[in-house]
Structure 1
């Protein structure tokens, strides 16, 4: 959907996971073996990945000031089940949070969220305002007030609807 550049750092994983579902067409990449393989999950783990995806989407909608599209398990509850470790580099002493187990998707997402919190980028990852889209995008606008994944598609549609409603 979006022509925007990918999110920085670990947020690319979060953005990619949220964007596995195309709301307009209903196509879900987690329905395919290739789609699940991208995230290192087995077919039996797809339901948990979908639950995580929709909880992330609700958080990203909130980042953009949009209401939740449906009721989901709160993201904080899901991430609380993902143990993280503090790692310290022996070469420069820098510290970071890392998944205790690099396999599970939940742990990798939790580490990505923690990394983005430290970097101050978490709230810049948003979901498109368009109800038939909700695509995840990274808002690079100076004021951080982006509303759509694509101004040329979703933004233009919204503006045209408002224009027609006034006419």
Structure 2
């Protein structure tokens, strides 16, 4: 497992992997077939397939989750690169979550939120959203973050003791910030 999900409970690792389906080299959820494949690989879709509307919902949920995770980290650093967050993503996520049915299953121990839909793709997407509620209840939600480097925004699980990790990779993104800061200091001399 990669450093972005090490030490993360399974449901949280799945959330990190879902958010990280958008990468610099492409989008793993770029087509309905790719969404179907990803959901099956993560045991969220035992049958059925995604259509274009479901794929678009999944991408909007992913981008909304990315924006939510960004709030668990410090403010982004100054960067000449554009920010990878969609400013409308949280509002779009709020609108989508209002349409996806969750039910409190009081027969499980402890009670848990579960999808309440016959649509297999919406069931899978709602399961991911239920994972958010579970993480909040468990106190682990604040450990899910996105990188402070605006052009990156890679999601990761902060396994540090003080919950102070800010970069997906100190070797890449953290180093970029240090180099930019050094250039600014040298230019100011």
TM above 0.5: yes
Match of 1:52 among 40, 58, 61: 61
Paired residues for 1:7-156 under 5 Å: 7-22=8-23, 24-25=24-25, 27-31=26-30, 33-39=33-39, 40=45, 42-44=50-52, 45-66=54-75, 69-73=85-89, 74=91, 75-89=93-107, 93-101=109-117, 103=120, 104=122, 105-156=124-175
Post-superposition Cα deviations, 1:66-97, rounded to whole Å, max 9, x if no partner, equal 3673322423332232222222447xx53222
Q: CA deviation at 1:61?
A: 0.9
The equivalent residue for 2:80 is none
Are 2:11 and 1:3 equivalent residues in the alignment? no
Runs of 4+ in 1 over 4 A off after TM superposition: none
Structure 1 unaligned regions, length at least 5: none
Q: Which moved more, 1:74-83 or 1:50-59?
A: 74-83
- Give yes or no for contact 1:54–1:72 (8 Å, CA) kept in 2: no
TM-score, normalised to structure 2's length?
A: 0.74
* Separation in 1, partners of 2:7, 2:153: 16
Aligned-residue Cα RMSD (Å) equals 2.3
- Give yes or no for contact 1:7–1:15 (8 Å, CA) kept in 2: no
Pair member with larger Rg: 2
Structure 2 unaligned regions, length at least 5: 40-44, 77-82
Q: Against the structure 1 CA distance between its residues 94 and 53, is the aligned structure 2 distance closer, same or farther, given a 3 Å change threshold?
A: closer
Q: Against the structure 1 CA distance between its residues 78 and 123, is the aligned structure 2 distance closer, same or farther, given a 3 Å change threshold?
A: farther
Q: Against the structure 1 CA distance between its residues 80 and 6, is the aligned structure 2 distance closer, same or farther, given a 3 Å change threshold?
A: farther
Q: Against the structure 1 CA distance between its residues 137 and 70, is the aligned structure 2 distance closer, same or farther, given a 3 Å change threshold?
A: same
